[in-house]
Amino acid sequence: MMRIGVPKETKTEEYRVALTPEGAQVLVEAGHPVTVERGAGEGSGFSDEVYRSAGARLGSAAEAWDGQLVLKVKEPQPAEYGFLRGQIVFTYFHLAATPRALLHTLLETRTTAVAYETLGDKVGGLPLLAPMSGVAGNMATLMGAYYLACFNGGRGTLLANVLDIGYGKVVIIGDGVVGQHAAQRACAMKTEVAMAGLSRERGEQLKEKFGPTFRYFLSTPEAIAAEIADADLVVGAVLVPGARAPYVVSEAMVQTMPQGSVIVDVSIDQGGCVETSHPTTHGDPVFVRHDVIHYCVANMPGAYPRAATLALTRETLPSIRKLAAEGLASFVVDPGAARAVNTYQGWITYPAVAEAWEMKERYRDLKELLS
Active site residues: 94, 269
Instruction: Choose among 201, 240, 231: nearest CA to 218.
Output: 201
From residue 15, alpha-carbon distances to 159, 188, 303, 308, 320 in Å are: 29, 29, 7, 10, 21
**DSSP string for 72-123:** -SSPPPGGGGGG-SS-EEEE---TTTS-HHHHHHHHHTT-EEEEGGG---TT
Query: Whole-angstrom Cα distance, residue 61 to residue 303?
Result: 23
Closest CA to 257 of 157, 161, 324, 167: 157
Decide: helix, strand or coil at residue 70.
Answer: strand
In this structure, the strands spanning 347-348 and 341-344 are: antiparallel
* 299/279 Cα distance (integer angstroms): 9
Gap between the Cα atoms of 110 and 96, Å rounded = 18
Residue 42 backbone dihedrals phi, psi, to 5 degrees: -60, -40
DSSP letters along 16-53, please? --S--HHHHHHHHHTT--EEEETTTTGGGT--HHHHHH
Residues 142, 306 contacting (CB under 8 angstroms): no
Check: CB of residue 168 under 8 Å from CB of residue 191. Answer: yes
Alpha-carbon distance of 114 to 55, in angstroms, equals 25
What's the alpha-carbon Rg for the chain, to the nearest Å?
21
Are 91 and 71 contacting, i.e. CB atoms less than 8 angstroms apart?
yes
Compute the distance between CA of residue 11 and CA of residue 74 in angstroms, rounded to an integer.
Answer: 7
Write down how long the chain is.
Answer: 371
Contacts of 321 (CB under 8 A, 6+ apart): 26, 27, 30
